[in-house]
């Protein structure tokens, strides 16, 4: 039993029976012990080194796990694991009440009609642009819309692309369980858009590039460009597949909507309109889907508030439930969400997605001018605020509705796939050391929070056929826009960075057909990845984190190139590898050794008004095992808030890159085209021209005329540009000077 003792005793008057140590847990004994406990109304307490945690009374809200001073014990509902063949000596028995779940209707005919309309309209937009643009055969028209897009649809497209179904379903559940501090992301979004519009976008737009990774070859060399391109392709395919699978699974288990039907429909429709209409079809479809997303949120808000006594009552309930404690200025970086982790960590995380991400920059450089591109970003900020506020208020309305009968605690919402994931981890990785990964199971139960929002919608709209279909269309609008943006960006990056480099003399017609073929290829790959996600088990959570862990080092790489003229290609490559290593080290460590539960404690949830059934359900807890040893870094480095992973990767890349650059010999500023560098020092040294010139590191920012074909490295001379692109680039650049 190692360093601690665990004793199970009856908490109230009972039969005098003492269940101590390990108990055989066949299905019959589970039911018998649960039945005895129910008859005697007796429950159990658990003791760890003298720190006792008593299981609450039936109406106080039953937790999935408790936190103790030394470790965490997970309580897993017996029916979920009774048939899983777990070693009987590893479990002891408790009991919990069984509640009567209210009847929640599944999808009806009108819901399917509304949902199908979303896919039909999306596909129709692709057909429209395929017919309209049939005479424009160039790859530029297909991939970047001929650089003639207006700011309005681009703004809608940006918002829709980065507010995926995970956001639509997950943010309200986050607010429901942890409070409205999530609204502080509006500060992160603001900083992200300012940095993107004023620091990164001008450099990308004036460079006349199509792929963001094209910049890395102009600034460094081919090796850096290739490394960044391959990392982007791999992480985007992986992430996109899971973005399709996760919401489809949640909606399937709550609404009864067919899982593989929704996955296949998403992949087919996105591939269809991306291939036919190119970027223009993607942008206008995203704009339509953004409207659907907001309409779905507003429908839920109006109906939810009317059922719960209006906004005043919802606000009072949220205040009484401590959901409005937004500002927590604790500087502890281990805390999951505080003011500082959200504002600082959130800014780095989202800047990796907005500032240097191909999907964002591709849309911005498709605008008719740099001014339109900046305006699109700032209008997009309004869209981000709108979706964020809607999602947060949906969470508060949901809490007001379920404040006295939490469906998650009462087991109205199950998570069989996550329980199976825990069991797979226990068997395959940790053998009998169940307690080693007990927190992983707790985390997987938290993932069932994505089912809470669909459950709420099906509950409040049970008497209104068609409206649940509108919300599911809202959720899948986020999925469609994210997948379409990823497919289009992947096709662009692959064509510009790989195929065009190997075959520079392709005709425009052949280039267009290859671009369309790449859209089909990546549509199939992303859909296949969604199918594979169902088999990944515990890797799913790690896969979702990979997007954030890669975003930080990429941000650091582009920051090295744009802000620091002294950085050379060796520093860039070394910094990228160091940043990825640091981010994955912290991220993987946090997955294996999760932070102490005290760093992310959910707020109180109650089952006070839930209808109690006549029977009691068995609770299974792991029997006392040898306490797993946690390394020294487990409660420090590995316990950092997930929002800091991107910051770690970015700072690691920049610092390492600068050190290597100075050791190997910094780049000469005279050899770097000024268009590739953003002189941020001008903001801080406006009072001294001499100091400004010194900090330019030799880059000729004061030159009034620039010959692009001579100034940009030789690769630019081989780059095929249309006349309007070159003229527009020179015009914008001269205007800036």
Q: Which of 72-81, 168-177, 280-289, 526-535 is predicted least confidently? A: 72-81
Percent of the chain with pLDDT over 90: 23
Question: What's the sign of the alpha-carbon dihedral 620, 74, 417, 431?
Answer: negative
* Cα–Cα distance measured from residue 39 to residue 33, given in angstroms and rounded to the nearest whole number: 10
Mean pLDDT of 592-614: 78
pLDDT at 127: 83
Q: Which of 243-247, 475-479, 729-733 is predicted least confidently? A: 729-733
User: The CATH number of the domain where 525 resides is what?
Assistant: 1.20.1730.10
In a domain, 413, yes or no: no
Residue 707 exposed, middle or buried by CB count within 10 Å (0-12, 13-18, 19+): exposed
* Cα–Cα distance measured from residue 596 to residue 580, given in angstroms and rounded to the nearest whole number: 25
Q: Cα Rg for the chain, rounded, in angstroms? A: 28
Residue in the block written with tokens 């640091």: 582
pLDDT category at 26 given cuts 50, 70, 90 is very low
In a domain, 451, yes or no: no
Pair of tokens at residue 217: 């070859």
Task: Write the pLDDT tens digit of every residue in 446-467.
Answer: 444 557 888 888 888 888 888 8
The neighbouring-strand residues paired with 616 are 97
In a domain, 657, yes or no: no
* Cα–Cα distance measured from residue 318 to residue 409, given in angstroms and rounded to the nearest whole number: 18
203 and 346 together in one domain: yes
Number of separate domains in the chain: 2
pLDDT at 414: 60
242 and 375 together in one domain: yes
Mean pLDDT of 238-256: 76
Domain span holding position 692: 672-728
In a domain, 301, yes or no: yes
Contact yes or no for 95/38 (Cβ under 8 A): yes
Pair of tokens at residue 713: 């490295």
Contact yes or no for 423/337 (Cβ under 8 A): no
* Cα–Cα distance measured from residue 463 to residue 467, given in angstroms and rounded to the nearest whole number: 9
pLDDT category at 593 given cuts 50, 70, 90 is confident
Last residue of a domain, one of 556, 575, 610: 556
Which residues are CB-contacts of 387 (< 8 A; sequence separation ≥ 6)? Answer: 159, 163, 167, 293, 294, 297
Contact yes or no for 154/460 (Cβ under 8 A): no
In a domain, 645, yes or no: no
Contact yes or no for 189/386 (Cβ under 8 A): no
pLDDT category at 417 given cuts 50, 70, 90 is very low
* Cα–Cα distance measured from residue 421 to residue 405, given in angstroms and rounded to the nearest whole number: 27
- Is pLDDT at 724 greater than 70 in this prediction? no
More reliable by pLDDT, 204 or 99: 204
pLDDT at 137: 62
Mean pLDDT of 692-716: 60
Last residue of a domain, one of 499, 522, 556: 556
Last residue of a domain, one of 514, 534, 556: 556
Contact yes or no for 625/90 (Cβ under 8 A): yes
552 and 676 together in one domain: no
Pair of tokens at residue 672: 């770097």
* Cα–Cα distance measured from residue 361 to residue 355, given in angstroms and rounded to the nearest whole number: 7
Contact yes or no for 593/670 (Cβ under 8 A): no
pTM of the model: 0.77
In a domain, 586, yes or no: no
In a domain, 49, yes or no: no
Q: Which of 374-378, 631-635, 695-699, 705-709 is predicted least confidently? A: 705-709
- Is pLDDT at 477 greater than 70 in this prediction? yes
> Is residue 10 helix, strand or coil?
strand
pLDDT at 563: 92
Q: Which of 173-177, 477-481, 657-661 is predicted least confidently? A: 477-481
Task: Write the pLDDT tens digit of every residue in 493-525.
Answer: 998 888 888 888 888 888 888 888 998 999 899
- Is pLDDT at 87 greater than 60 in this prediction? no
In a domain, 464, yes or no: no
């Amino acid at each position: 039993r190692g360093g601690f003792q665990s004793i199970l005793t009856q908490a109230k008057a009972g039969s005098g029976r003492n269940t101590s140590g390990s108990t055989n847990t066949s299905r019959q004994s589970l039911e018998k012990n649960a039945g005895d406990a129910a008859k005697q109304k007796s429950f159990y307490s658990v003791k760890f080194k003298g720190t006792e945690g008593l299981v609450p009374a039936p109406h106080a809200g039953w937790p999935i796990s408790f936190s103790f001073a030394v470790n965490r014990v997970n309580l897993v509902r017996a029916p979920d694991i009774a048939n899983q063949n777990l070693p009987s000596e590893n479990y002891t028995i408790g009991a919990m009440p069984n509640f009567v779940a209210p009847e929640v209707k599944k999808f009806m005919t009108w819901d399917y009609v509304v949902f199908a309309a979303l896919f039909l309209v999306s596909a129709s937009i692709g057909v429209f642009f395929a017919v309209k643009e049939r005479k424009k055969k160039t790859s530029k028209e297909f991939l970047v819309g001929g650089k003639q897009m207006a700011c309005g649809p681009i703004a809608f497209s940006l918002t829709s692309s980065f507010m995926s179904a995970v956001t639509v379903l997950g943010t309200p559940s986050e607010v429901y369980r942890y409070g409205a501090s999530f609204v502080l992301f509006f500060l992160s979004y603001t900083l992200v858009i300012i940095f993107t519009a004023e620091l990164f976008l001008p450099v990308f737009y004036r460079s006349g590039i199509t792929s963001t990774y094209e910049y890395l070859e102009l600034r460094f060399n081919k090796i850096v460009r290739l490394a960044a391109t391959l990392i982007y392709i791999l992480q985007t395919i992986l992430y996109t597949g899971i973005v399709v699978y996760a919401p489809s699974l949640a909606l399937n288990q709550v609404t009864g909507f067919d899982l593989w039907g929704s996955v296949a429909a998403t992949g087919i429709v996105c591939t269809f309109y991306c291939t036919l209409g190119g970027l223009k079809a993607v942008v206008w479809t995203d704009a339509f889907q953004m409207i659907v997303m907001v309409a779905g949120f507003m429908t839920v808000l109006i109906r939810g508030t009317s059922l719960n006594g209006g906004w005043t009552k919802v606000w009072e309930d949220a205040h009484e439930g401590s959901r409005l404690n937004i500002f927590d200025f604790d500087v502890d970086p281990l805390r999951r969400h505080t003011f500082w982790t959200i504002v600082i960590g959130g800014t780095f995380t989202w800047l990796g997605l907005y500032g240097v991400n191909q999907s964002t920059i591709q849309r911005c450089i498709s605008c008719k001018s740099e001014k339109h591109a900046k305006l699109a970003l700032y209008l997009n900020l309004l869209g981000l605020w709108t979706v964020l506020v809607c999602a947060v208020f949906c969470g508060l309305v949901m809490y007001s509705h379920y404040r006295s009968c939490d469906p998650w605690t009462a087991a109205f919402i199950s998570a069989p796939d996550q329980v199976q994931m825990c069991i797979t981890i226990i068997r395959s990785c940790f053998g009998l050391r169940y307690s080693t990964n007990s927190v992983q199971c707790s985390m997987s139960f938290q993932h069932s929070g994505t089912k809470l929002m669909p459950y709420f919608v099906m509950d409040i709209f049970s008497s209104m056929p068609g409206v649940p279909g509108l919300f599911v269309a809202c959720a899948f609008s986020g999925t469609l826009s994210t997948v379409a943006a990823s497919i289009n960006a992947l096709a662009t990056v692959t064509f510009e960075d790989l195929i065009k480099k190997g075959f520079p003399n392709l005709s425009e017609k052949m280039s267009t057909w290859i671009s369309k073929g790449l859209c089909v290829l990546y549509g199939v790959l992303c859909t296949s990845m969604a199918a594979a996600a169902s088999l990944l088990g515990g890797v799913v959570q790690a896969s979702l984190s990979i997007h954030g862990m890669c975003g930080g080092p990429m941000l650091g790489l582009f920051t090295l190139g744009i802000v620091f003229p002294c950085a050379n290609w060796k520093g860039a490559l070394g910094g990228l590898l160091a940043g990825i290593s640091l981010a994955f080290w912290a991220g993987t460590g946090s997955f294996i050794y999760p932070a102490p539960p005290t760093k992310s404690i959910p707020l109180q949830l109650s089952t006070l008004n839930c209808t109690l059934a006549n029977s009691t359900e068995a609770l299974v807890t792991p029997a006392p095992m040898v306490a797993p040893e946690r390394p020294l870094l487990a409660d420090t480095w590995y316990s950092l808030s997930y929002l800091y992973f991107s910051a770690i990767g970015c700072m690691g890349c920049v610092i390492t890159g600068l050190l290597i650059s100075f050791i190997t010999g910094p780049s000469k500023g005279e050899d770097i085209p000024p268009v590739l560098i953003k002189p941020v020092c001008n903001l801080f040294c406006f009072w001294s021209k001499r100091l400004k010139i010194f900090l330019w590191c030799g880059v000729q920012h004061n030159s009034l005329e620039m010959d692009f074909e001579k100034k940009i490295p030789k690769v630019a001379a081989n780059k095929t540009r249309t006349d309007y692109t070159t003229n527009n680039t020179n015009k914008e650049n001269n205007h800036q000077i």
